Structure 1
Amino acid sequence: MKRPVIVWFRRDLRINDNPALFHAASAGSPVIPLFVFDTELIRFLPSDGAAFNFQAEALTELAASLKALGGRMVTRRGDVYKVHESLIRETQPAALYYNRDYEPYARDRDLKVGSIYRQRDIEVRTFADVVVHEPQEVLTGRGMPFVVFTPYANAWKKLDHPKPLKKPRPMRSSRLHTGGVLSAGELGRTTSIGEPAVHGGEKEALKLWRRFLRSKIHDYAKNRDIPSVEGTSRLSAYLRFGCISIRRVLDDCIKLQNAATPTAVSSVGKYVDELIWREFYQAVLYHYPRLLNQSYR
């Protein structure tokens, strides 16, 4: 029997167009979908628990979607490095697959986790996912990072944009101990709000996105800055947690631009500009991590 592949979920809590999951399922080995409640990361996150409850909803749906494909989600809580070391001893994996993250803590963590596997001659494969174009892809003619948005956006738009992947193949998973999905209260956090404005999960993300595409995006340029009008997509949290693929969002926008009226084309273009702003900020933080704590100049 083939040794399993661990797919480490982080900011990609979905089934569709998930590169790490897609390629692991295509490899034909048993798949161990893993999510770690990283106690060190949790300690530094904002104290309000709303985001943790959103994450719990997304993870609950993800576990059900994986089960429908034959997979079984494994969750563990604790020191992320010790969790991986323990899972290696427990499963003797052939490889670790995950989608790359670009924030300073994540980059340092991923480097250390990767070394744990490589020191044991276990393959580590990583994939682009959080952004359409990774920070090192969008550079000046001299190979330097952009620090001004407009030239960054112009360079970004000239690149060939990757297409969304298909749904992953059915998979096999080992039956391992799992800690379940932990909500805010179970992680020692409380929420300051009552009923949340949005609920986590891929299905909810796709529902909001389809609704926005049908009508609201056509007037986005006009309505996006009017507080009394619900003129935005409300996808921020879903993109942050990866409940919807950024490639799917961009691909749908491009298709709509090719078929829409001139006014709608302008509004869709404005929405795409906001997606590029999102990537610009991540690129700046990637190249200049000191900006977490100080100004650029």
Structure 2
Amino acid sequence: MKTTINIFWFRRDLRLDDNCGLFHALSSDKKVLPIFIFDEDILKKLPKEDARVSFIHQELKNINQQLLEINSGLSVFHGKPMDIFKDLSEKYIINTVFTNHDYEPYALKRDLEIKDFLASKNIIFKTFKDQVIFERNEIVKKDGTPYKVYTPYSKKWLEAFHSKGIQFFPSDEKLENFIKSETHQFLSLKDIGFTKSSIKVESYKINDSLIDSYEETRNFPAKNSTSKLGTHLRFGTVSIRKMVEKASKSNNITFLKELIWREFFMQILWHFPHTVKDSFKPQYDRILWRNNEDEFNAWCKGETGYPLVDAGMRELNQTGFMHNRVRMLVGSFLCKHLLIDWRWGEAYFAEKLHDYEQSSNIGNWQWVAGTGVDASPYFRIFNPTTQILKFDKNLEYIKKWVPEFQELTYSTQIVEHKMARERCLKTYKTALQKF
């Protein structure tokens, strides 16, 4: 006889504590089967040693180990989510599938299709807010339209936060409601066609000292003063509610405001999904990008002849991380000095960054290119040499990543700053005049 169960579908929430959807699943009146699906449509686009896949797999192993200790286990699948749910609906009588919201265009389309299929089988599909404090239309203008500028959005966000507070979901207190002694499959990396990456995702570091001094230290890439929290928020190995609560207790709200930026870009992508491919400001899609492939490859390798730009790109290539201040510089350099389409840079970062989050990546690339919401004006062009004096004057960061920068073997500059600046201004101006 088939068992009647509920399912919890882990996605961007790889933890057992303070997990909203998981809490509601475990609070239901049916035993819960926990699953994770390695989506083959996503995996097939990734290199076989992708560090993010290795990280996800390790986090799933951690969850599975905790469940084994209570005579349960996590079922891990590989394939198309629709096919997996078709198989599960044959094996079990499923009452409800619980999961947490995902806001990216691909995920929204996938979830709608899954919801429709489940409805055809009289199975309920319930999703919950988990990876943000405020979502979708929760922080909007008085007329109900979305904010397109960060500062008023952040003020409204803070007002709502202080008036509503945070509700936590102690899912880790209800683990006994998982299915017991279930024969479950736990796939290895090899089973899904991957090998363990030689690059590791760094652990996050968040303490009172880092938060309190964040404003004065965050712009200097040689200092180890960033939290490395991005990847863990991306995959939900930490609770955003716990991180925001910790940040909100500091006298300095700069760190909290960085977390608000993340939610600002998420609601932008949700309201304006076309920005995945198109400039938020349509007139900027008239820019005649040069798109020189040799120059793009030099940028990718960190061989532009500008040491701070090259240091950032080499850090990215070797570690899967780049300091945020340097991200702004390398992005600006690509779009404005080399006149290469921001989409090229966005795609490269999507491939390399461990903390890649579609909304933030697109939002920040459109910001540096001048094409997005609340963007840096197109005539603001960072000087990659004077940026060294501001943010790495002792050359510590540069020496670490570009040790040969003072040697004859170091790359010559692929473009001259003054000429590139004038060329950029002229190109942007011409495009905007046509609009």
TM tier, shorter chain? 0.7 to 0.9
Q: Deviations over 1:160-210 (max 9, x none)?
A: 243222233122415555442443x5544567x734252xxxxx6xxx44x
| Partner residue in 1 for 2:269 | 285
The 5-angstrom pairing of residues 60-71 of structure 1 reads 60-71=61-72
The 5-angstrom pairing of residues 135-154 of structure 1 reads 135-154=136-155
* 1:175–1:40 CA distance, 2 compared to 1 (3 A): farther
1:249 is aligned, of 243, 246, 259, to 243
Distance 1:226 1:16 in 2: 34
The 5-angstrom pairing of residues 20-99 of structure 1 reads 20-45=21-46, 49-99=50-100
Tell me if the contact between 2:51 and 2:198 (Cα under 8 Å) persists in the aligned partners: no
Distance 1:85 1:18 in 2: 26
1:164 maps onto 2:168 in alignment: yes
Indicate the RMSD between aligned Cα atoms, in angstroms. 2.1
| Partner residue in 2 for 1:262 | none
Q: Is the partner of 1:4 in helix, strand or coil?
A: strand
| Partner residue in 2 for 1:201 | none
| Partner residue in 1 for 2:224 | 230
AA at the equivalent of 1:154:
K
The 5-angstrom pairing of residues 253-268 of structure 1 reads 253-254=247-248, 256-257=249-250, 265-266=251-252
Unaligned runs of 5+ in 2: 282-435
Q: Deviations over 1:237-268 (max 9, x none)?
A: 110000001011111222x33xxxxxxx12xx
Q: Is the partner of 2:9 in helix, strand or coil?
A: strand
Q: Deviations over 1:84-140 (max 9, x none)?
A: 011011011111000000000001101111111111111221110011111221111
Distance 1:148 1:46 in 2: 36
Of structures 1 and 2, the larger Rg is shown by 2
Distance 2:188 2:268 in 1: 33
- TM-score w.r.t. length of structure 1: 0.86
* 1:17–1:270 CA distance, 2 compared to 1 (3 A): same
Report deviation, 1:23: 1.4
1:107 maps onto 2:108 in alignment: yes
Distance 1:45 1:131 in 2: 26
Distance 1:215 1:69 in 2: 37
AA at the equivalent of 1:60:
K
| Partner residue in 2 for 1:261 | none
Q: Deviations over 1:209-235 (max 9, x none)?
A: 4xx214222211111111111111111
| Partner residue in 1 for 2:211 | 217
Tell me if the contact between 2:72 and 2:181 (Cα under 8 Å) persists in the aligned partners: no
Distance 1:69 1:224 in 2: 42
Higher mean Cα deviation, 214-223 or 286-295? 214-223
Distance 1:134 1:75 in 2: 29
Report deviation, 1:69: 4.5
* 1:141–1:150 CA distance, 2 compared to 1 (3 A): same
AA at the equivalent of 1:79:
K
Distance 1:238 1:133 in 2: 18
Higher relative contact order (CA closer than 8 Å, sequence separation 6+): 1
* 1:39–1:26 CA distance, 2 compared to 1 (3 A): same
Q: Is the partner of 2:77 in helix, strand or coil?
A: strand
Q: Is the partner of 1:215 in helix, strand or coil?
A: helix
* 1:175–1:113 CA distance, 2 compared to 1 (3 A): farther
Higher mean Cα deviation, 286-295 or 155-164? 155-164
| Partner residue in 1 for 2:198 | 194
| Partner residue in 1 for 2:19 | 18
AA at the equivalent of 1:274:
E
Tell me if the contact between 1:99 and 1:129 (Cα under 8 Å) persists in the aligned partners: yes
| Partner residue in 1 for 2:179 | 173
Tell me if the contact between 1:38 and 1:79 (Cα under 8 Å) persists in the aligned partners: yes
Runs of 4+ in 1 over 6 A off after TM superposition: none
